[in-house]
Amino acid sequence: MDKNNKLLNNTLSILVSTFINRGLMFIMLPFFCRWLSVEEMGIYDVIMTYLALLLPIITLATANGIFGLTTNDSSLKINITNGLVLHVVNSIIAIFVVFIINNVVKFEYAYFLMILLILEVFDNYLLGCLRAIRKLEIYALSKTFNVVITVLISVFFIKICGMHLSGLLLGYIVGYFVSCVYQVIAINLPKIIHLRLYSFSKIKELIAYSYPLIINDISWWIINVSDRVIINAFIGATANGIYAVANKISNICIVIMSSFNFSWQEAIIDKDEENKQSYINKIYNKLLTITVSLCSILISCSFIIYGIFFDERYIEAKQYGEILVITTVFHVISMFLGGIQISLNNPKANGYSTTFGAVVNLLIHLSLVNFMGLYAAAISTVVSNITVMIIRWMWLPRKYAIKSTKKTKYAIAILLYYAICSYIQLSMVFRIINLILAILSFIIINKSFVNEVLSKVIKKIN
């Protein structure tokens, strides 16, 4: 299959699944916000925050090693088998540690956190397996099962059983469990695993490849998620609930564009050196125009999202949400540049850049939180993402120099216009006109991409 088509097909598979998943969760978010208290939403977000932190620590980011070190069928079986051993052993240790901590510091939802953590660890392992065997479409479908079941079970437990936050967490547990079972069956995992292939030296090799990415993942956690911990400590769970909602809009964009990232890493690794520079420039400009014009749409329709969909208790989230949407652009560029470093077998560069960005995030947030409240969180996130992007750009080898096209510059100018408009009191008519123009701009600027997607979708339907 042509490399460009392969990248598009993989991205489309994950993208369609992501749209369904995020779309459904976004539709349900206003209902969850009404059914749960603001404090419960804040606690829920803190739980998800800790899960995001603990995941790379327990997995040692070895899902990346399973993917990166697999070159043939033999290495596939070796890496998947030893990856499983590592994940199981670390999960047992994690359960033991959480149990001890909960006996010292009582937390009402500790057992929910423990079960969710184990399921996410196994889900992360399966992602590494699916990437190694180039079956990302299975992962995409499993995520759809996950979200649909999570929503159905959550609604049942919250509305019918009256379980509130516990019901939402149970929904996530059942969703992850079904998703993992489907992935195991879909790839026939028991036939790939052979315990006789267990090797401590191979496990060390997986860890050696992946350990810089542990630092990378934790640093991304600090940049994008640690805000919730600081807000919870300095301002309280209610403020954390508001900021969690502010993050939901930018997260939609980040998750949608992250669906590209797995496919991008696979494509750039497989790309021959002769055409890599032109290929990088082509994909960069296409990615940036899509991201920027998508952010323009999200900012232009924020008056609908926060004014209609969400409960009035969360209206304050709008002023922070629009800042975080702009942050998405810098985050996506950073992930794109990180993919190039992975293809050059230089994951350390990613670890160093995100570590520096994490330090910047913590310094700014802790310095400003008592003076600026939730704005401190939004500002620190923007600045740290810009920092990571600049460092990765500076470390990019000269032979892969990237240049923005005129179309990309126009898209950036349009985003700046919408960013300015978001802080001006505009009439409802003007806001609606801006939204229509943002949608038209997306279609015009990304005309070739839209045509490609439509032709692929029509072809699959027929």
Residues 204 and 271 grouped into a single domain: no
Residue 25 placed within a domain? no
Claim to verify: residue 430 and residue 373 sit in the same structural domain: yes
Both tokens assigned to 357: 């960005």
Q: Which two tokens stand for residue 138?
A: 């299975």
Q: Is residue 1 part of a domain?
A: no
Residue 405: band (very low, low, confident or very high) from pLDDT cuts 50, 70, 90: confident
Q: What is the total count of domains within the chain?
A: 2
Q: Which of 201, 223, 245 is the last residue of a domain?
A: 223
User: Which whole-number Å values give the CA distances from 110 to 44, 101, 103, 146, in the listed order?
Assistant: 12, 9, 10, 22
**How many angstroms separate the CA atoms of 370 and 374, rounded?**
9
Tokens of 146: 């996950």
Which residue reads 């009582």 in tokens?
Answer: 106
Residues 189/129, Cβ–Cβ less than 8 Å: yes
Tell me if 21 is assigned to some domain: no
The Cβ of residue 204 has, within 10 Å, a number of other Cβ atoms equal to 12
Q: pLDDT class for 76, splitting at 50, 70, 90?
A: confident
- Structure confidence at residue 269 (pLDDT): 59
Task: Tell me the pLDDT tens digit for each residue of 254-264.
Answer: 776 666 666 66
Contact between residue 379 and residue 364 where contact means Cβ atoms under 8 Å apart: yes
Identify whether the C-beta of residue 111 lies closer than 8 Å to the C-beta of residue 170: no
pLDDT band at 220 (very low <50, low <70, confident <90, very high): confident
Is residue 428 located within the same domain as residue 337?
Answer: yes
Which pLDDT belongs to residue 6?
A: 53
Residue 399 and residue 288 in one domain:
yes
Q: Which pLDDT score, from 0 to 100, does residue 264 have?
A: 65
Residue 249's pLDDT is 76
- Looking at the fold, whether 411 and 360 belong to one and the same domain comes out as yes
Find out whether 316 and 302 touch, Cβ atoms under 8 Å.
no
**Angstrom distance (rounded) from CA 307 to CA 330:** 27
Average pLDDT, the chain: 82
Is the domain of 215 the same as that of 237?
no
Last residue of a domain, one of 168, 198, 223: 223
- Using an 8 Å Cβ cutoff, are 399 and 277 in contact? yes
Q: Look up the pTM and report it.
A: 0.75
Would you state the structure tokens that stand for residue 351, as one six-digit string?
């670890």
User: Does 152 share its domain with 229?
Assistant: no
Residue 293 · residue 441 · CB < 8 Å = yes
pLDDT score at 137? 77
One domain, residues 216 and 78: yes
Q: How many CB atoms lie within 10 A of CB 90?
A: 16
Look at residue 387 in the predicted model and tell me its pLDDT. 94
Could you tell me the two tokens for 316?
Answer: 């304050």
List CB contacts of 17: < 8 A, sequence separation 6 or more: 140, 141, 143, 144, 259
Would 31 be classed as within a structural domain?
no
Assigned domain for 6 exists: no
Average pLDDT (322-345) is 85
Number of H helices, E strands in the chain: 19, 0
Q: Kindly state the average pLDDT of the residues 228-237.
A: 82
Give, rounded to a whole angstrom, the gap between the first and last alpha carbons of the chain.
20
DSSP, res 228: H
Residue 2, pLDDT > 70, answer no
Answer whether residue 410 shows pLDDT above 60: yes
Residue 16 forms part of a structural domain: no
In a domain, 233, yes or no: yes
Average pLDDT over residues 201-214: 83
Q: Which of 223, 251, 282 is the last residue of a domain?
A: 223
Query: pLDDT category, 25, cuts 50, 70, 90?
Result: low
Collect all residues with Cβ–Cβ distance below 8 Å to 443 and sequence separation of at least 6. Answer: 450
Neighbours of 34 (CB within 10 A): 11
Higher pLDDT, 266 or 115: 115
Asked whether residue 66 falls in the same domain as residue 160, the answer is yes
Residues 414 and 375 in one domain: yes
- Quick one: pLDDT at residue 233? 82
- Longest C-alpha distance within the chain, in Å? 69
* 341 and 240 in a common domain: yes
CA–CA gap between residue 313 and residue 34 (Å, rounded): 9
Other beta carbons within 10 Å of 239: 19
Residue span of the structural domain in which 258 resides: 225-457
CA distance 115 to 342: 32
With respect to residue 360, please indicate whether it lies within any of the assigned structural domains: yes
Task: State whether 110 and 188 are in the same domain.
Answer: yes
For residue 8, pLDDT beyond 60: no
Quote the distance between the C-alpha of residue 189 and its chain's center: 25
pLDDT at 104 (0 to 100):
80
Per-residue pLDDT at 70: 73
Do 380 and 364 form a contact (C-beta atoms < 8 A)?
Answer: yes
